[in-house]
C-alpha cells in the first residue's frame, strides 16, 4: 500500500467540473490580472474570516511582508516570532530591514510560548507575529494582552490556520492583521502560489492594495513605492470554488486526526495535544518520537510518505547566523526538531490508510533492534 503525504488529485476529482468551468470562464473573459474573480474572492474570504477586508496577493510570504511594510516596519525595528516556524516567517521580517527576535515554543501546542514572550521585548520591538503552527491557533489572548500592555502590534501568520477557531473566533480576525498562504498543499490551496492579507483596518487594507500593485491606486497613479505581488485571477477563481468546501474538508482532517489519536494511543509516541477552546484544523498531523529518523526510513520502505516540519530551527540556519543566537538558546525547539514527524494528512485519507500507517509504526516499535523505552512517554 502506498500512502502519499498529501493527495491533491483526489480532492481535484471531487470538484473537477466546477474548477474547470471557473478557469475557462477566466480564459474567456481574459481578465487575468486583478480581474473580477479576485474582487469576489476577497469579499468572500474576508466574510469567511469574520473580518472587514481581504486583499489577494501572490503568496503567503508576500502577505506577511506587505503587512509589515503597510505598518512601516523596517530598519531599526524588531518583530518577535516563533523559533520553530518555517523560515519564510523570519524572511518576511528581515527582508523589510527589521530584525526577527525568536521565542521558544510551548511543548504542548508547539506554538510560541507566551510565558517567554515578555523577556524578548526591547525598546525596538514593534510587533509580535505568532504562528498558528500545524493548524492550531496560538494562544492569542495571552499574546494580545502582552502586546497591548507594551503598545505592540499583533500579526497572525495563518499560513497553516485556514478555518481554525480560537475561542469562537476565526483565525484572521484575532490580531491587527493576518497573512494567509494558498500554496497548493494548504487546507485552502490554489493551483499555484497565492496568499491574502486579512484585516479590519481600512487604511491598512488600502495600503496593501497599493503595495501589491506597484504603488498604484489607479492605473499610472503611483501614490507610494510598491511591488508586484498581485493574486492571479485564475488562482482566485480556483479559490472561490474551493472556499465553500473548506469547513467540510477541515472536518475530514479532524476525523482523520481522531482516528490517528485512537490507534496511536497505546504506542510510545506523542500525538498532537489540542489546547482548550481551540478548533485545530490539522494542516499537519505531527507526532513526536525519539528515533524519528529510523521510523521515517521504516515508513518510507513500507510505502508511507512522511515529512519533517521543521528539521533545522531558524536560529541554526546559516542564513540567520547574523542574529547572534547559538545552539542551546531555544532548547524545546531544538529537542523537538529531532523528534517531530508529520504523518500523511488530508481530508480524504481513509481509515484503512490510517490503520496501515499505524500498523507500520507498530511493526517498527516491535522490532527487536528498537528500544521502545527510548521513546518519550510524556512531554518534557
What is the structure's pLDDT at 373?
A: 45
What is the structure's pLDDT at 370?
A: 52
Encode burial over 50-71: b for 16+ CB neighbours within 10 A, e otherwise: bbebbbbbbbbbbbbbbbbbbb
Reference 267, options 300, 289, 291; nearest CA is 289
CB-count burial class (<10 Å; 0-12, 13-18, 19+) for 75: exposed
E strand map for the chain:
53-57, 78-82, 99-103, 125-129, 153-157, 165-166, 169-170, 177-181, 195-199, 216-218, 221-222, 278-279, 285-288, 340-343
What is the structure's pLDDT at 379?
A: 42
User: Which tens digits make up the pLDDT trace of 336-362?
Assistant: 999 999 999 999 999 999 999 999 999
Order of all β-strands in the sheet with 165-166: 169-170, 165-166, 278-279
| CA 182 – CA 194 distance, rounded (Å) | 5
What is the structure's pLDDT at 371?
A: 52
- Counted residue by residue, the chain has a size of 380
Which residues in the chain land under pLDDT 70?
A: 368-380
Axis crossing angle, helix 36-48 with helix 233-242, rounded to the nearest 10: 40
The whole model's pTM is what?
0.96
What is the structure's pLDDT at 380?
A: 40
Amino acid at each position: 500500500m502506498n500512502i502519499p503525504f498529501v493527495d491533491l488529485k483526489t480532492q481535484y476529482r471531487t470538484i473537477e467540473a466546477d474548477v474547470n468551468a471557473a478557469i475557462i470562464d477566466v480564459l474567456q473573459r481574459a481578465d487575468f490580472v486583478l480581474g473580477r474573480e479576485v474582487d469576489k474572492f476577497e469579499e468572500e474570504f474576508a466574510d469567511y474570516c469574520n473580518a472587514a477586508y481581504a486583499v489577494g496577493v501572490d503568496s503567503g510570504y508576500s502577505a506577511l511582508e506587505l503587512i509589515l511594510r503597510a505598518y512601516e516596519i523596517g530598519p531599526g525595528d524588531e518583530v518577535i516570532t516563533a523559533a520553530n516556524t518555517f523560515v519564510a516567517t523570519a524572511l518576511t521580517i528581515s527582508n523589510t530591514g527589521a530584525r526577527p527576535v525568536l521565542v521558544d515554543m510551548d511543548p504542548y501546542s508547539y506554538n510560541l510560548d507566551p510565558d517567554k514572550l515578555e523577556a524578548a521585548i526591547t525598546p525596538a520591538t514593534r510587533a509580535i507575529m505568532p504562528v498558528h503552527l500545524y493548524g492550531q491557533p496560538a494562544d492569542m489572548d495571552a499574546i494580545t494582552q502582552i502586546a497591548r500592555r507594551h503598545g505592540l502590534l499583533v500579526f497572525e501568520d495563518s499560513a497553516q490556520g485556514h478555518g481554525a477557531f480560537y475561542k469562537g473566533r476565526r483565525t484572521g480576525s484575532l490580531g491587527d492583521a493576518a497573512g494567509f498562504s494558498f500554496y497548493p498543499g494548504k487546507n485552502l490551496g490554489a493551483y499555484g502560489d497565492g496568499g491574502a492579507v486579512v484585516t479590519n483596518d481600512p487604511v491598512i487594507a488600502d495600503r496593501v492594495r497599493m503595495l501589491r500593485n506597484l504603488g498604484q491606486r489607479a492605473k499610472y497613479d503611483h501614490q507610494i513605492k510598491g511591488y508586484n505581488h498581485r493574486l492571479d485571477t485564475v488562482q482566485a477563481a480556483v479559490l472561490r470554488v474551493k472556499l465553500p468546501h473548506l469547513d467540510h474538508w477541515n472536518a475530514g482532517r479532524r476525523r482523520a486526526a481522531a482516528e490517528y489519536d485512537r490507534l496511536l494511543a497505546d504506542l510510545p509516541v506523542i500525538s498532537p495535544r489540542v489546547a482548550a477552546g481551540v478548533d485545530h484544523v490539522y494542516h499537519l498531523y505531527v507526532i513526536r518520537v525519539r528515533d524519528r529518523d529510523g521510523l521515517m526510513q521504516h515508513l518510507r520502505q513500507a510505502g508511507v510518505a512522511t515529512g519533517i516540519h521543521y528539521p533545522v530551527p531558524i536560529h541554526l540556519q546559516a542564513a540567520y547566523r547574523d542574529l547572534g543566537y547559538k545552539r542551546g538558546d531555544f532548547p524545546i525547539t531544538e529537542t523537538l526538531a529531532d523528534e517531530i514527524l508529520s504523518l500523511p494528512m488530508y481530508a480524504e485519507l481513509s481509515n484503512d490508510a490510517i490503520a496501515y500507517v499505524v500498523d507500520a509504526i507498530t511493526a517498527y516499535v516491535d522490532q527487536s533492534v528498537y528500544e521502545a523505552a527510548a521513546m518519550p512517554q510524556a512531554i518534557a
